C-alpha cells in the first residue's frame, strides 16, 4: 500500500475522475460547518468538528469513493443513501464520480448535518465509547 504525506498528496495521486470527485467531497465536507477540521490518519482523510465524524476512501478498482460515517448506526437514513455493508457501526454513502455527487448533493449535505449534530452532542468519539463498553464487560 502506498503511503501518502497529506490529504492533497492522496487526492492528487488518484485517477483524474476520482481526483475531481475527492476535491468536491473535501470541499463539501469542510464547508458543512465553520469548525470542521480535517486530519490525515491511517492513510485516510478524516473529518470532524469535535471528534472524527466521517472519512473518505477509494473503493476497490477505482470504482468511486465511499464516505463513511462513524456514527452511521445512530443516523436516521431518511435519505436512503447510507449503507451498512455488514458493518456494525459505520455506514457509508458511495459516489461513482462528480456527477453522481451532484445528483446526491442535497441529501448528502443533510446526512453531513445529522453527523455533525451527533458529533457535537457526544463528548467522546465513537471509538472511545466502543472501547469503554468492551472493557466494562
Q: Which domain holds residue 112?
A: 7-136
Place of cell 448533493: 105
Q: In this predicted model, what pLDDT tens digit does every residue of 7-64 receive, in sequence order?
A: 999 999 999 999 999 999 999 999 999 999 999 988 899 999 999 899 999 998 778 9
Q: Does residue 1 belong to any structural domain of this protein?
A: no
**Structural domains counted in the chain:** 1
Q: Does residue 91 belong to any structural domain of this protein?
A: yes
Q: In this predicted model, what pLDDT tens digit does every residue of 59-107 receive, in sequence order?
A: 987 789 999 999 999 999 999 999 999 998 999 999 999 999 999 999 9
DSSP state of 8: H
pTM across the whole model? 0.89
Q: Does residue 26 belong to any structural domain of this protein?
A: yes
Of the CA atoms within 13 Å of residue 82, those in its CB half-sphere come to 25
DSSP sequence for 22-80:
HHHHHHHHHTTSTT-EEEEETTEEEEESSSEEEEEEEPGGG--EEEEETTGGGS--TTS
Q: Does residue 2 belong to any structural domain of this protein?
A: no
Q: Are 32 and 1 in contact (CB under 8 A)?
A: no
CATH of the domain at 76: 3.90.1150
Amino acid at each position: 500500500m502506498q503511503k501518502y504525506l497529506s490529504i492533497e498528496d492522496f487526492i492528487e495521486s488518484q485517477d483524474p475522475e476520482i481526483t475531481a470527485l475527492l476535491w468536491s467531497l473535501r470541499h463539501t465536507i469542510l464547508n458543512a460547518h465553520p469548525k470542521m477540521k480535517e486530519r490525515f490518519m491511517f492513510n485516510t482523510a478524516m473529518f470532524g468538528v469535535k471528534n472524527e465524524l466521517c472519512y473518505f476512501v477509494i473503493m476497490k478498482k477505482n470504482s468511486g469513493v465511499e464516505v463513511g460515517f462513524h456514527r452511521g448506526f445512530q443516523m436516521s437514513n431518511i435519505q436512503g443513501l447510507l449503507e451498512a455493508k455488514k458493518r456494525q457501526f459505520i455506514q457509508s454513502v458511495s459516489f461513482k464520480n462528480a456527477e453522481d455527487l451532484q445528483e446526491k448533493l442535497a441529501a448528502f449535505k443533510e446526512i453531513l448535518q445529522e453527523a455533525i449534530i451527533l458529533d457535537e452532542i457526544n463528548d467522546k468519539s465513537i471509538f472511545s465509547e466502543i472501547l469503554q463498553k468492551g472493557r466494562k464487560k
